[in-house]
Amino acid sequence: MDTKELLKKVRKIEIKTRRLSDHIFGGEYHSTFKGRGMTFSEVRQYQYGDDVRAIDWNVTARCNEPYIKVFEEERELTMMLMVDVSGSKFFGTQNQFKDEMATEISATLAFSAMQNNDKIGLILFSDAIELFIPPKKGRSHVLRIIRELLEFKPQSKKTDVAGAFKFLSSVMKKKAIVFVLSDFMTDDDYQQTLKIVGKKHDVTGIRIYDQHEETIPNLGLVQMKDEETNQVKTINTASKKVRENYAKYHYDKAVYFEESFRKSGSGALATRVDESYVKKLLGYFKNRG
């Protein structure tokens, strides 16, 4: 992708996702994810109806009239986006690939955080940490994140979710809002690590999948390639047992995902590439708020 085409794509995603974050997600994000608490702002003269427990007695004594302390929410937070860039991200049979949806969701979340003056960071992972962008504020930083999501070429096609969580723990010492975007299809050994991470951070898993990962149609003999291992196999999709085993594999992965995030006290939602992620995210925010 040349620079002109890349900038055009970045701008297109910014326009679409910025509109969503400005008009839909900004307020939901603010009410869902709270700051670290209340911090002192100023003192002002007491007014009828104010809480007498907020009176600043030292200032009141000096001025010979009542003054109260005013507190405001300490709003600044840090959002970390953890995005799976393994080989399976290129799968998609309806409208778009999984990685395209992951990019749009990440951009929407990032602009929502930017509206609230929060820092945003990025971890791209496969079975290794492919890229780490430390959290910063501002539009130019968010646009850099979008550019990396669009054009980054990972070294590996495999997946290690647990390893990505361990890296997060090593670089994020303070509590962060963490969104993990993956299909969670090939890795089922992250539950224990997630429990540890979930105790410190506010974690949400977003499982992105395609309808043909749930069930496979009867197409006779079909050659299938595993994008993570590059293995090509001939599959007899006319076999009912083959189709049942295929569906069970996806179902088991989905159940493991749901159970792992629930047991760790984390949030979880799943969205298909042909569905509206907007409705899914809004519903998730409102249920949490």
pLDDT at 74 over 60: no
Per residue in 137-157, pLDDT (tens digit) is 999 999 999 999 999 999 998
Question: How much is the average pLDDT of 47-69?
Answer: 88
HEC letters along the chain: CCHHHHHHHHHHHHHHHHHHHHHHHHHHHHHHCCCCEEEEEEEEECCCCCCHHHECHHHHHHHCCCEEEEEEEECCCEEEEEEECCHHHHCCCCCCCHHHHHHHHHHHHHHHHHHCCCEEEEEEECCCEEEEEEEECCHHHHHHHHHHHHHCCCCCCCCCHHHHHHHHHHHCCCCCEEEEEECCCCCCCCHHHHHHHHHHCEEEEEEEECHHHHCCCCCCEEEEECCCCCCEEEEECCCHHHHHHHHHHHHHHHHHHHHHHHHCCCEEEEEECCCCHHHHHHHHHHHHC
Mean pLDDT of 46-65: 88
The pTM of the full predicted model, rounded to 2 decimals, is: 0.79
- pLDDT of 4 over the 90 cut: no
- Mean pLDDT for 180-198 is 91
- Domains annotated for the chain, with CATH where assigned, are 3-32+76-288 (3.40.50.410), 37-74 (no CATH)
pLDDT band at 217 (very low <50, low <70, confident <90, very high): confident
Residue 145 has a pLDDT of: 96
The pLDDT of 198-221, averaged and rounded, is: 88
Instruction: Quote the pLDDT of residue 92.
Output: 46
Q: Does 73 have pLDDT greater than 70? A: no
pLDDT of 91 strictly over 90: no
Task: Kindly indicate the confidence band of residue 206, based on its pLDDT and cuts at 50, 70 and 90.
Answer: very high
pLDDT at 185 exceeding the cut of 90: no
Q: What's the chain's average pLDDT?
A: 86
